[in-house]
Amino acid sequence: MIPVEFRGFAWRHAGRRAQAVTGVDLRVEPGERVLLLGPSGSGKSTLLAALAGLLTEDAGEQEGEVLLDGKPAADQRGRAGILFQDPETQLVMARAGDDVAFGLENQAVPRGDIWPRVHRALDAVGFPYGPDRDTHALSGGEQQRLALAGVLARRPELILLDEPTANLDPQGAQGIRDALRAALADTDATLIVVEHRVADILDLVDRVIALGPGGALIADGPAARVLTEHGATLAAQGVWVPGAPLPHRPAPAPGGPALRSDGLALAYPGAARPALDGVSFELRQGELLAVTGPNGSGKSTLALLAGGLAAPDAGTATVPGERRPLHRLPARRLATRVGSVFQDPEHQFVTATVRDELAFGPKQAGWAKDRIEARVAELLDRLRLAPLAEANPHTLSGGEARRLSVAGALAAAPGVLLLDEPTFGQDRRTWGELVDLTADIRDEGTALLAVTHDRDFAQALEARELVLEGGRVAEERPC
């Protein structure tokens, strides 16, 4: 366990004009367990990267000092252990055991000591397989557990966690929290966590530091006190403060039929059982259908088939007024019938400005020029994208990119909108925006289907719930 100190620290990433953080003065005592809060863009990840020794001279411009144990952190890369958000890009090796061993080899641990330490680390995080397990065959939650084992095996005196559960489904996130709890009980390392979902992590920390935009200190102290005194401010900034009220948008009475799925089925080549095995449902105008179920239950496959984006082995998805099933429609016609919004908004961006992005669907559909212009102006305004009209879609923040991908899918005025995990990994503020946006779209009469793990989202919108299990409909119920 080591002390950590920022003295007048500021950092500007190479190629950026603005500083990511300015004037940070912080001290964390040896063995302290700290939760670092702040809105997106407050530089939390930059602070962790600085402590991990990853901000090198060629990566940007530094002012002030970052000290680990009294010495510059940049000279001690590898001394702190850091767990990032994305499990896929933290694993280096093809076999699970080799991946944990990788960090020990770098530390020059003698061969005889490596494997016992690998086994102990895998046990500590409750890794359910042997060391020869192929790292590609792991779920996201399991990969993240393996990455955590890789951090712990090095026995760091400072552990940094950068939103470790943000990319995981609830089950995977719970697994990581359990593993962390067990592992932290076993070490006296100093801990700094960045996490929006405060309630889930509160019992692991004894101090909360809240930062404002640019890294300005808002509050610092015992967790309970900071959250009571500054709860409202933090919630407004996007922190999931426990007990803060969530929005509620009651559902209007649904209208006529908008999309019909009849016995949709699909088996992926080489899979033991079909991903989807005869799923039928009806979606009506002005309603939100939440498709839920455990991992591998076929939710995402259903979204693909219902959106006409993949051809089913059997069954059809149809919309009124269109004789052909959706997967047979040419893409430019499909976009006027059903819009699909994917988890990663950037995959869907096909033009260089926000304005072109909104005009794209209507243009493809062959709308008249003034009709397109009117539609784009309307969407820019409604989704608060007008100030960004000329910006490149790839430079938008997470929340803005999400709004744009929804707006792009809506542009050609489809009667149905499909959303894949729309609230995944979002902070509290973006989450609230998405609830309002979804409700507005629904209340105008668009039929919505959302694949989601997020119970709060479904409840806030009074969604009808379609529960999938093993590729079949297990239950249909009001939420």
Partner 1 sequence: MLTLAPVCGPEAAIARANPVAKLAAVVLVTTVALVAGDWLTPLLLLAALAIALPFTGIRPGPLVRRLRWLWLAAAAVVVVNAVFAAEQTGRLLVDLGPIAISSGTLLDGTAIGLRVCVAATAGVLVFATTDPTDLADALTQQLNAPPRFTIGSLAALRLLPLLAAEWRQITTARRARGLEGGWNPLRRTRLFASTMFALLVGALRRAGRLAAAMDARGFDTEIPRTHAREQRMRPADWALIALAAVAAAAAVALSVAAGTFSL
Q: CA-CA distances (angstroms) from residue 393 to 14, 101, 321, 336, 351?
A: 21, 40, 34, 22, 8
Contact status, residue 283 vs residue 447, Cβ threshold 8 Å: yes
Nearest alpha-carbon partner for 472 in 317, 305, 293: 293
* 450 is a site residue for partner 1 (CB under 8 A): no
Kindly state whether residue 118 participates in binding partner 1, applying the rule CB under 8 A.
yes
Tally of CB atoms within 10 A around 1? 16
Given 103, 140, 141, 293, the residue binding partner 1 (CB under 8 A) = 103
Residue 215 and residue 194: Cα distance in Å, rounded? 13
344 contacts partner 1 (rule: CB under 8 A) = yes
Question: With respect to partner 1, which residue has the nearer C-beta, 183 or 198?
Answer: 183
Out of 408, 422, 432, 471, the residue judged to bind partner 1 by CB under 8 A? 408
> Which of the ranges 66-74, 252-260, 339-347, 425-433 carries the binding residues for partner 1, by CB under 8 A?
339-347
Radius of gyration of the chain (CA): 24
- Answer for which of 4, 91, 201, 226 binds partner 1 (CB under 8 A) is 91
Contact flag: residue 90 with partner 1 (CB under 8 A):
yes
Spatial CB neighbours of 282, under 8 Å, sequence gap ≥ 6: 257, 259, 260, 261
Q: What is the DSSP letter of 440?
A: H
**358 contacts partner 1 (rule: CB under 8 A):** no
Q: Using the rule CB under 8 A, which residue among 1, 309, 377, 413 binds partner 1?
A: 309
* Under rule CB under 8 A, residue 324 binds partner 1: no
The contact mask relative to partner 1 for 197-236 (x = CB under 8 A, - = no) is: ----------------------------------------
Q: Does 15 bind partner 1 (CB under 8 A)?
A: no
Closer Cβ to partner 1, 421 or 465, answer by number: 421
CB of 111 to partner 1, least distance (A): 6
Determine contact, residues 453/170, Cβ cutoff 8 Å: yes
CB 96 within 8 A of CB 122: yes
Residue (77 or 225) nearer to partner 1, CB: 77
CA distance 179 to 184: 9
For the purposes of burial, counting CB atoms within 10 Å of the CB of 65, is it exposed (0-12), middle (13-18) or buried (19 or more)?
middle
* Residue 271 sits in the site that holds partner 1 (CB under 8 A): no
302 binds partner 1 (CB under 8 A): no
- Report the DSSP beta bridge partners of residue 261: 281, 317
141 sits near partner 1 (criterion: CB under 8 A) = no
Nearer Cβ to partner 1, position 47 or 226? 47
Q: Which stretch binds partner 1 (CB under 8 A): 51-59, 182-190, 206-214, 224-232?
A: 51-59
Within 272-378, strands assigned E span 276-284, 288-292, 314-318, 338-341
Among 98, 282, 313, 469, binds partner 1 (CB under 8 A): 98
Of 7-15, 65-73, 147-155, 275-283, which segment contacts partner 1 by CB under 8 A?
147-155
d(CA 417, CA 449): 6
Cα–Cα distances (Å) from 29 to 2, 32, 68, 189, in that order, read 7, 6, 11, 11
Nearest Cα neighbor of 345 from 400, 411, 384, 401 is: 401
Binding site for partner 1 (CB under 8 A): 49, 52-54, 77-78, 80-82, 84, 86, 88-95, 98, 101-111, 114-115, 118, 135-136, 147, 150-151, 154, 304, 307, 309-310, 330-332, 334-335, 339-340, 342, 344, 346-348, 350, 360-361, 364-365, 394, 408-409, 412
